[in-house]
Structure 1
Amino acid sequence: MTTQSPRTPHPVDHLVLPTADLDVARARLDKLGFTVAPVGKHPFGTENVCVFLGDDTFLEFLAIGQREVCEAEAREGNVFVARDQAYRFRCGNEGFSALVMGTQDAESDHSAFVEAGISAGVILNFSRPFVTPDGKEDRASFRLAFAADLRAPDAFFFTCERVNTPNADRSQLQAHANGAVSLREVILSEVNPTDFQYLLQEVVNQRDVNAHSFGMDLRAANANVSVLSPQGLHSFFGLEARGAERGLRLQAFVVGVRDLLAVESLLRSNDIPFEPRGSRLIVHKAPGQGAAIAFEAV
């Protein structure tokens, strides 16, 4: 009898959140109490600002820097840029387009995605300049393997291998006025969540699925990945799914903070509307913030 070797779940690496204007995103994130890194530029025409958390995850707010370069790259098969363009065409320039898992071997992931029938295209290798908080210049290099499902055109997934990560002290960037320390949960929605169980098992590299009356959960190495029905999305987060539309959609994420009362005070002082819901504070979408953010105490 043959047995399958147990899988080691991937960690969540980062989230991709398209935005129309990095200045607007930065201003919004500042008011939410996040420390925002300097602008980073990709060699394929996009640019970002990032929020780095103490658990080695980050939030990537992505904008179009050079439209002509992006369009040329998409035509040449750059999956990252092509999916970003498709998302913006269908959903607008503010949103939440991709869940990214960390990996030590993107090439193996790509082979697994091809075998599973969920590959979204060829591997992407790229490097970009990196400036440390103390002003030193270096290069960061990455290798990405993409997965997607044609039934879910508004969400895509990839694993990210950090081929070369500059040895920089990020402690200043990981210190946030709101006390954020970790990414606790990623929230997706779908009318029938288990229709996408197979896809997410491959992406997270996790066979175990916790199915419940409102959806299903998969445990990544460092966070929970949850797919909720429209009823679950409303019950837990006060969010409304778009009618009975089918397909996975990335809706929200949960950030762990040291002191929830301090977050509440900060949001009030910065005139940021929020909704207390259970043990969380929900901040709904706004310009520069394409997904709902739930804060909860760690």
Structure 2
Amino acid sequence: MPAGPHSPSAYPPGPYPLDHLVLPTASLDGARARLNSLGFVVAPTGVHPFGTENCCVFLEDATYLEPLAVGNAQAAAKAIADGNVFVARDRAYRDKRGDEGFSALVLGTGNADADHMRYVEAGLSAGDMLSFSRAFADAAGKSDTASFKLAFASGAGAKDAFLFACERINPPKVDRTALQAHANGATGIIEVVAVSDQPSEQHRLISIVARGPASGQGSTAIGLPNATLTLLEPAAFEARFGIPAGAPSELRFAAVVFSVRRADTVAGLLAACSVEYDIRGNDIVVRPAPGQGAAFIFREIA
């Protein structure tokens, strides 16, 4: 039987693939409404066993967005007290930057235990590993249980961003086809853009976590098998997207570039939903908004 996308044998030496992005939000209802207005199909609410909940956007390339809210504050507080790094980092992010944003980049792995050891040895571990399971439902209501094992990494003292490796122990046996049929024609994530006052200082962190060095001397791009991770200084970010880079930060994830089938379909949909956007070269740029914690860029891919 061929190796699945998240089985150990699917990870030869080299960079890990982008798995998903974590987007904190104050309200899943607000996130769902905003994402619907951008032309995305949003999955049913998923509830974690430690107080947080999500409503994911799944894409054809097997990546996804994870809008994340606190559904049970008491359970979340207990999880933090018990050493749950995922919930603790979510709390730290919200305390510093508010309830809307883009807190974490997640890479797929076939061996989270080995990744945790790499992070510890490099002095980059953000804390203990996390294993958990939760129910998953498809668009038709069919349910299964999804299980994950996570290993966390972060720069020293950084509160604006963290990274983690995600091993899918038990991928749910459900049909995601309907959840991937987006009205905007989005098919995948081709680039994630981070802002840093000192991007060269972040290369070690990201290179170790992603298992891939930056391409070229002093380059700000790290190639993953399915996407590019780009680090920009604030001025370069503003020049590229026409969006303020925000407060100074060691590392902050700021933009997501989606591949779409037709740019004119996206433009028409956004106009019909009264969503403001700008055109920057071949890109359609939508600024962050409540329920959409990062700039979303839509790019037609032939």
TM-score normalised per structure 1: 0.95
Equivalent residue for 1:288?
291
Equivalent residue for 1:109?
115
1:256-275 equivalence runs, <5 A: 256-275=259-278
Equivalent residue for 2:162?
156
Structure 2 gaps, min length 5: 1-11
Equivalent residue for 1:26?
32
**8 Å contact kept, 1:152–1:249:** no
* 1:196 equivalent in alignment to 2:199: no
**8 Å contact kept, 1:151–1:247:** no
CA RMSD of aligned residues (A): 1.3
Equivalent residue for 1:165?
171
Q: Which amino acid aligns with 2:109?
A: T
* 2:21 corresponds to which of 7, 10, 15: 15
Q: Which amino acid aligns with 1:70?
A: A
Whole-angstrom CA distance in 2 between matches of 1:286 and 1:7: 38
TM-fit CA distance, 1:8: 1.3
Equivalent residue for 2:233?
229
**8 Å contact kept, 1:142–1:160:** yes
Whole-angstrom CA distance in 2 between matches of 1:168 and 1:37: 12
Equivalent residue for 1:241?
245
**8 Å contact kept, 1:282–1:294:** yes
TM-fit CA distance, 1:30: 0.6
**Matched position secondary structure for 2:80:** helix
Change in Cα spacing, 1:84 to 1:154, as seen in structure 2 (3 Å) is same
Whole-angstrom CA distance in 2 between matches of 1:7 and 1:237: 34
Instruction: Between 202-211 and 74-83, report the one with greater CA deviation.
Output: 202-211
Equivalent residue for 1:3?
none
TM-fit CA distance, 1:151: 4.5
TM-fit CA distance, 1:138: 1.5
Equivalent residue for 1:216?
220
Structure 1 gaps, min length 5: 1-5
* 1:83 corresponds to which of 75, 89, 95: 89
Q: Which amino acid aligns with 2:263?
A: L
* 1:250 equivalent in alignment to 2:228: no
What is the number of equivalent residue pairs in this alignment?
290
Q: Which deviations, in whole Å up to 9, do the C-alpha atoms of 1:184-235 show, x marking residues without a partner?
A: 10010012210111001011110243456xx600001100000001111011
Whole-angstrom CA distance in 2 between matches of 1:170 and 1:127: 18
Q: Which amino acid aligns with 1:153?
A: K
Whole-angstrom CA distance in 1 between matches of 2:246 and 2:201: 18
Q: Which amino acid aligns with 1:169?
A: D
Whole-angstrom CA distance in 2 between matches of 1:193 and 1:87: 20
**Matched position secondary structure for 2:271:** helix
Whole-angstrom CA distance in 1 between matches of 2:235 and 2:217: 15
Change in Cα spacing, 1:246 to 1:36, as seen in structure 2 (3 Å) is closer
Whole-angstrom CA distance in 2 between matches of 1:235 and 1:76: 43
Structure 1 residue ranges (4+ consecutive) displaced by more than 3 angstroms after TM superposition: none
Change in Cα spacing, 1:291 to 1:246, as seen in structure 2 (3 Å) is closer
Equivalent residue for 2:6?
none
Change in Cα spacing, 1:99 to 1:25, as seen in structure 2 (3 Å) is same
Whole-angstrom CA distance in 1 between matches of 2:138 and 2:197: 44
**Matched position secondary structure for 2:131:** strand
Q: Which amino acid aligns with 1:88?
A: R
